[in-house]
């Protein structure tokens, strides 16, 4: 039994907030988006983010938040990059675009498998207009899994925390971490303004560090 | 570039502290237990060196404070204050080296950082999971990686099987990797880097300490996980991910940068349990052979910090002596410093090789040139219709992959001798084999080298001559069209 675990509960809760914030940043923008993100970033900054290897990229995100384009510009950029264009979106924010061939039905297979994975994790995508393989949906799913972990730590239920970490590890390695890097690279080459480039580069760095942290922590718990 | 140096003054005797006054070292009481002082750096500081009591610090806390200061923990050299309680001169030399290393830090990304949980047991650690510490891990530049041509050098040398070749690319599993750096020094193209120990940073550190030292100084490569608290007088420890990554050219290179002697401290002497000693020993042994052949005292290199008994060799500038494919430059520099004639030294740790091709069994299939990651072996068609395989010994890293891929290796078509051959290095690129090429009667494009067609004919036998005639007359495309 590991007795002093609130530290990891706080870390899991912070990670939950990071995933949620980043997921929100990649949703279609609405008039309140900038203020919401600034408030979330301010709160998260108080949670000792210097513990995380991606902190330099977080600082870049904070820097980008200072000069977010106007709501109108954001809306145009979002559509141009992620929603539509002459030949479709420049950088589709969906897993299926990077991992399947829509012409042979791969998209449907992936979405069906993803829905099954959500169900197995005890999650369901409700109240969102985005598809289940959208970056924001997957980031929100990871947020929920971190919430489960934080709850387990607080209740001092180490096996439950370990199980939550296993679920995160599986979801990251099966879905989010397998395509987000390619997506971020595509945005890097397409976003002239810089806001979405800053967001996706920060999230990419965060996801990379998450894959390492979750696996290492799980292994450490196994050894404890 | 401004690099700040902060030192915990706990345990430092008064004399040493007084001697450090006026040096770039800023003494801070209790820094080990209150690393938040790190965040009070001036705005114009670009880098940082810390001198702390390693046994006493909470490394994760220190790293967090470094990040809070806007710096990268992987780029902050950390010296052990326990090694410098009295001899302030030695500390100043070490600080010069660490400052140079910090200044050469190229920056890192999360892909370069691996979380590691401390293994040191404390009373608190029995009841809680400690915070992880991030160490530098290798990352692969896919644009420089030669895996698409079949190169698997990193796969072969990794003691943890962290690298896997999958459909023309290397899949790296950071989770199982215990960064030892073997893949870095084995990579023939320099595609693998660990920002915590780049070739440029190591060279900068050694150069700085040789300049800062009053007299001749020895350079000892030491594992970052080493528990050796101190090095002998006259020696400076250069930390590397593991001494198992040190190659023979690495052993020689510090001599060209001004070091009088070089040591590679094997795992078994430092408390590290990776058991990669054999590689370090082989590298030191071969470096000693090279020195001896060039008329330089071989005891300038060794596996321990023997008393300094030599002066420095004449300095010879060698560009990037610790980088991939620097072996030829390093050995040539040593030969120049030793003012020696052309000699040949043979040994498995040479990191240079001489490829030979036996024209009789070689079919000129050019698979050896396709897999060669450095371009040492190259194939080219000449205007006269001949296909030529050439070899440049300067570019060869003796990776042996050309031998592994040769379909006629059992008949002795190709061989690599691991050796430093100064005459061959000076001669430049030479032709190893050439063959006339069959050309298509219809379109005039090359079909295949005559040597290969002859070999196919031998395998098929006399009763397939009709097929052979067809194969030698038309190229694949025209055969399909006819």
Q: Where are the domains of chain A?
A: 6-223
Query: Nearest-CA residue of chain A relative to B124?
Result: A4
pLDDT at B120: 56
B116 at interface of A, judged by CB pairs closer than 8 A: yes
Distances (CA, A) of A183 to A90, A179, A200, B1: 10, 6, 8, 35
- For residue A51, is pLDDT > 80? yes
Q: Indicate if the alpha-carbon torsion angle B455, B458, B459, B461 is positive or negative.
A: positive
| CA of A61 vs chain B CAs: smallest distance (Å) | 14
Contact A4 B64 (CB under 8 A): no
* Nearest-5° Cα angle at B480, B475 to B482: 95
B143 at interface of A, judged by CB pairs closer than 8 A: no
User: Rounded mean pLDDT of chain B?
Assistant: 91
Q: 3-class DSSP state for residue B436?
A: strand
pLDDT band at B212 (very low <50, low <70, confident <90, very high): very high
- For residue B171, is pLDDT > 80? yes
Mean predicted confidence (pLDDT) in B67-73: 94
| CA of A62 vs chain B CAs: smallest distance (Å) | 13
A212 at interface of B, judged by CB pairs closer than 8 A: yes
Q: Where are the domains of chain B?
A: 1-107, 148-338, 353-436, 440-481
pLDDT at B183: 97
User: Rounded mean pLDDT of chain A?
Assistant: 90
Q: How far apart are the first and last CA of chain B?
A: 70
- For residue B16, is pLDDT > 50? yes
> B212-221, B254-263, B274-283 — which is least confidently predicted?
B274-283
A224 at interface of B, judged by CB pairs closer than 8 A: yes
A25 at interface of B, judged by CB pairs closer than 8 A: no
Name the pTM for this structure: 0.90
pLDDT at B385: 83
Contact A51 B60 (CB under 8 A): yes
Q: Which residues of B touch A201 (CB under 8 A)?
A: none
CA-CA distance, A161 to A146, in Å (whole number)? 9
B289 at interface of A, judged by CB pairs closer than 8 A: no
A47 at interface of B, judged by CB pairs closer than 8 A: no
Say which CATH topology domain A6-223 has.
TorD-like (1.10.3480)
Of residues A50, A56, A220, nearest to B129 (C-beta): A220
Radius of gyration of chain B from its Cα atoms, rounded to whole angstroms: 27
Give the tens place of pLDDT for each residue, B378-396: 999 988 889 999 999 999 9
A98 at interface of B, judged by CB pairs closer than 8 A: no
pLDDT band at A202 (very low <50, low <70, confident <90, very high): very high
Of residues B65, B70, B110, nearest to A53 (C-beta): B110
Contact A56 B132 (CB under 8 A): no
Query: Nearest-CA residue of chain B relative to A9?
Result: B129
Mutate to test the interface with A, among B106, B129, B141 (most CBs of A within 10 A): B129
**Residue A48 φ/ψ region, left for φ over 0, alpha for ψ in the -120 to 50 degree band, beta for the rest:** left
Give the tens place of pLDDT for each residue, B388-421: 999 999 999 999 999 999 999 999 999 999 999 9
Q: Please report where in the chains the tokens 């992959």 appear, as a residue.
A: B401
Q: How many CB pairs under 8 A join A and B?
A: 65
Q: Which residues of A touch B65 (CB under 8 A)?
A: 50
CATH: 3.10.20, 3.40.50, 3.40.720, 1.10.150. Which one for B1-107? 3.40.50
Contact A53 B116 (CB under 8 A): no
Query: Nearest-CA residue of chain B relative to A210?
Result: B110
Contact B128 A3 (CB under 8 A): yes
Please indicate whether residue B476 or residue A222 has the higher confidence score (pLDDT).
B476
- For residue B124, is pLDDT > 60? no
Mutate to test the interface with B, among A9, A55, A201, A203 (most CBs of B within 10 A): A55
Whether the Cβ atoms of residue B321 and residue B249 lie closer than 8 Å to each other: yes
Contact A217 B132 (CB under 8 A): yes
- For residue B358, is pLDDT > 80? yes
CA-CA distance, A25 to A7, in Å (whole number)? 27
Give the tens place of pLDDT for each residue, B365-374: 999 999 999 9
CA-CA distance, B147 to B84, in Å (whole number)? 45
Contact B109 A51 (CB under 8 A): no
Whether the Cβ atoms of residue B60 and residue B130 lie closer than 8 Å to each other: yes
Look up residue A75 and give its two tokens: 């809306």
Give the tens place of pLDDT for each residue, B322-331: 999 999 999 9
pLDDT at A94: 94
pLDDT at B27: 87
pLDDT at A108: 87
Give the tens place of pLDDT for each residue, B430-464: 999 999 998 899 998 889 999 999 999 999 888 88
What number does CATH give the domain B353-436? 3.30.70.3270
Give the tens place of pLDDT for each residue, B281-307: 999 999 999 999 999 999 999 999 999
Q: Which residues of A touch B122 (CB under 8 A)?
A: none
The complex scores an ipTM of: 0.89
A70 at interface of B, judged by CB pairs closer than 8 A: no
Distance of CA B260 to the CA centre of its chain: 21
| CA of B128 vs chain A CAs: smallest distance (Å) | 5
């Amino acid at each position: 039994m590991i007795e002093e675990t609130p530290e990891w509960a706080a870390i899991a809760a912070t990670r939950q907030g990071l995933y949620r914030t980043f997921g929100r940043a990649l949703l279609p923008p609405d008039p309140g988006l900038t203020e919401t993100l600034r408030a979330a970033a301010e709160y998260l900054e108080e949670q000792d983010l210097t513990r995380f290897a991606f902190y330099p990229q977080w600082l870049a995100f904070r820097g980008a938040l200072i000069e977010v384009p106007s709501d109108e510009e954001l809306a145009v950029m979002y559509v141009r990059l992620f929603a539509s264009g002459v030949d479709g979106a420049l950088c589709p924010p969906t897993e299926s675009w990077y991992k399947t061939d829509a012409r042979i039905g791969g998209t449907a297979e992936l979405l069906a498998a993803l829905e099954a994975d959500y169900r197995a994790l005890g999650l369901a995508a409700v109240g969102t207009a985005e598809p289940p393989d959208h970056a924001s949906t997957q980031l929100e799913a990871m947020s929920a899994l971190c919430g489960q972990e934080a709850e387990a730590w607080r209740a001092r239920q180490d096996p439950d925390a370990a199980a939550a970490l296993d679920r995160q590890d599986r979801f990251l390695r099966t879905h989010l971490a397998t395509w987000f890097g390619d997506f971020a690279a595509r945005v890097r080459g397409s976003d002239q303004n810089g806001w979405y480039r800053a967001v996706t580069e920060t999230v990419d760095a965060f996801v990379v560090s998450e894959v390492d942290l979750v696996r290492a922590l799980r292994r450490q718990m196994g050894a404890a | 570039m401004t690099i700040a140096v902060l030192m915990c003054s706990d345990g430092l005797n008064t004399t040493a502290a007084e001697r450090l006054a006026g040096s770039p070292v800023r003494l801070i009481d209790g820094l080990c237990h209150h690393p938040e002082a790190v965040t009070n750096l001036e705005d114009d500081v670009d880098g940082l060196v810390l001198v702390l009591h390693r046994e006493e610090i909470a490394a994760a806390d220190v790293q967090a404070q470094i990040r809070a200061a806007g710096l990268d923990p992987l780029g902050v050299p950390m010296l052990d204050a326990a090694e410098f309680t009295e001899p302030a001169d030695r500390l100043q030399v070490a600080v010069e080296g660490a400052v140079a290393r910090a200044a050469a830090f190229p920056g890192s990304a999360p892909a370069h950082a691996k979380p590691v949980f401390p293994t040191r047991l404390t009373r608190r650690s029995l009841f809680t999971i400690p915070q992880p510490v991030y160490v530098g891990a290798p990352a692969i530049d896919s644009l420089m990686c030669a895996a698409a041509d079949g190169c698997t050098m990193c796969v072969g040398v990794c003691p943890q099987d962290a690298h896997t070749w999958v459909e023309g690319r290397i899949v790296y599993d950071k989770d199982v990797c215990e960064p030892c750096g073997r893949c870095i020094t084995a990579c023939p193209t320099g595609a693998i880097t660990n920002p915590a120990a780049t070739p440029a940073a190591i060279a900068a550190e050694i150069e700085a300490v040789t300049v800062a030292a009053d007299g001749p100084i020895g350079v000892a490569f030491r594992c970052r996980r080493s528990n050796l608290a101190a090095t002998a007088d006259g020696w400076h420890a250069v930390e590397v991910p593991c001494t198992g990554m040190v190659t023979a050219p690495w052993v020689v290179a510090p001599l060209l940068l001004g070091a009088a002697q070089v040591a590679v401290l094997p795992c078994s002497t430092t408390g590290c349990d990776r058991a990669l000693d054999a590689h370090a020993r082989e590298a030191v042994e071969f470096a000693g052979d090279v020195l001896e052949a060039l008329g330089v005292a071989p005891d300038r290199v060794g596996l321990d910090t023997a008393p300094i008994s030599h002066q420095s060799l004449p300095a010879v500038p060698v560009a990037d002596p610790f980088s991939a494919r620097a072996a030829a430059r390093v050995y040539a520099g040593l030969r120049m410093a030793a003012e020696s004639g052309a000699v040949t030294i043979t040994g498995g740790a040479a990191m240079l090789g001489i490829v030979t091709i036996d024209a009789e069994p070689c079919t000129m299939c050019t698979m050896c040139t396709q897999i060669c990651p450095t371009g040492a072996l190259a194939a080219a068609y000449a205007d006269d219709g001949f296909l030529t395989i050439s070899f440049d010994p300067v570019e060869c890293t003796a990776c042996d992959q050309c031998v592994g891929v040769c379909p006629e290796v059992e008949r002795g078509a190709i061989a690599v001798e691991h050796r430093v051959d100064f005459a061959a290095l000076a001669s430049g690129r030479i032709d190893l084999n050439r063959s006339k090429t069959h050309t298509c009667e219809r379109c005039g494009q090359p079909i295949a080298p005559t040597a290969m067609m002859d070999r196919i004919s031998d395998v098929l036998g006399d009763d397939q001559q009709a097929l052979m005639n067809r194969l030698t007359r038309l190229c694949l495309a025209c055969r399909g069209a006819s």
